[in-house]
Copies of this chain bind each other. A is one copy, B any other.
Amino acid sequence: MSTMIRLIAVLGLLYHISLVAETATLNPPQVREAPIKLQDSLPSWNEGVVKDAILAFLKATTEVGGKDYVAPEDRIATFDQDGTLWVEQPQYTKVVFALETHSGKAENEKQILVEAMTNMTVSQFYANVAAWLKKSVHPRFKRPYTQLIYQPMLEVLRLFRQYGYRTYIVSGGGQEFIRVYAQDVYGIPPEQIVGTSGKLKYEWQGDHPVLMKLPEILFIDDKAGKPQDIQLMIGKIPVAAFGNSVGDREMLEWTQSRPGLSLMVLVHHDDAEREYAYGPESKIGTFSEALKTEAEKKGWHIISMKRDWREIFPPANQQPL
């Protein structure tokens, strides 16, 4: 391109920017992530069937005029958290938090969870979780829990958003627990977190209203609870869903029931060296033979951590998303 054309382009663009600036108050800029080229977009993934399936799905559902095109307002992708976005072994992080912060009077796991997570305001709970996350480290990896997130899945989240999808977490973990760090760690805002929820109680403390966390369950966001809560909180059927255990089965079935193309993916933990290897025998993140059979029969994709992921965790000190 000649220098003159370049100059014209730059001058024109500057003029265009000045026009945009005039209406800046009226149209506040959307927070946008930098564009990613499709072929370079999953750098921590090895080449293979699952990577190809993700890229093909995104292309097919966003290509204007294509038979599998999905309107931007319907682009919903749901992600389980424990074992799908971050480490869930040797124990769910929420439970570790409860074990390390409860008051000491509790006698069993249920009481420990109640003591660590209820009978306080939502604000106090947020402060407790934030303080704990800052100082806690994983027993094996010696890193904060919020760094033990799967780099390949961070790339998937970012790529889906790049293609106009809204990425939701749909987790058996505590909704308010996840909200504390999900924006910083995954780039997912509070209103896109669906998780197990307790009842709240609005009341006044002195001259200001608060929301108290009551020791009563509103809903448990696991198994059949996942499609139920997706309907409650979103009111749309996801186009793509990612999980890793029998707790995600119904969410994937529900996703597949939509008319038109859908993508269902399960993470299989088969990498004892770099992370963990577990399956039907594990109480946490059970990946049963029945689930494997259903996945194969229905065309759900299974990620082998060992085979499909070049990296497991982000480099230490990586900037949050």
Q: Chain B residues near A37: list those with CB within 8 A.
A: 26
Q: List 26 A-B contacts (CB under 8 A).
A: A8-B8, A8-B15, A9-B12, A11-B12, A12-B12, A16-B16, A23-B35, A25-B62, A26-B35, A26-B36, A26-B163, A28-B62, A28-B72, A29-B72, A30-B72, A31-B73, A190-B235, A190-B236, A191-B233, A191-B236, A193-B235, A202-B228, A203-B224, A211-B231, A218-B218, A233-B233
The complex places the Cα of A179 from the Cα of B14 at a distance, in Å, of 43
Residues of B within 8 A of A36 (CB): 26
On whether the beta carbons of A27 and B35 are closer than 8 Å, the reply is yes
CA distance A32 to B224 in the complex (A): 36
Q: Of the 9-residue stretches A127-135, A239-247, A250-258, A273-281, which lies at the interface with chain B?
A: A250-258
Quick check: is A200 within 8 A (CB to CB) of the other chain? yes
Copies of this chain, complex-wide, total 2
Interface residues of A (CB under 8 A from B): 5, 8-16, 23-32, 35-38, 59, 62-64, 72-73, 122, 162-164, 175-176, 179, 189-191, 193, 197, 199-203, 208-209, 211, 218-219, 224-225, 227-228, 231-236, 250, 253-254, 257
Pick from B64, B189, B211: contact of A228, CB below 8 A.
B211
Given A5-B11, A27-B162, A179-B235, 18 more pairs with CB closer than 8 A: A8-B15, A9-B12, A11-B12, A23-B35, A25-B163, A26-B38, A27-B35, A28-B72, A122-B231, A175-B232, A176-B235, A190-B234, A191-B233, A191-B235, A200-B232, A202-B254, A203-B224, A233-B233
Question: Is there an interface contact between B23 and A12, defined as CB atoms closer than 8 Å?
Answer: no
Beyond A8-B8, A12-B10, A16-B12, whether A231 also contacts B200 by CB under 8 A is yes
Given A12-B11, A30-B72, CB of A218 within 8 Å of CB of B232: yes
Q: Give the nearest-CB partner of A75 in chain B.
A: B28
A208 CB contacts on chain B under 8 angstroms: 257
Q: Which of B9, B64, B73, B190 contacts A16 (CB 8 A)?
A: B9
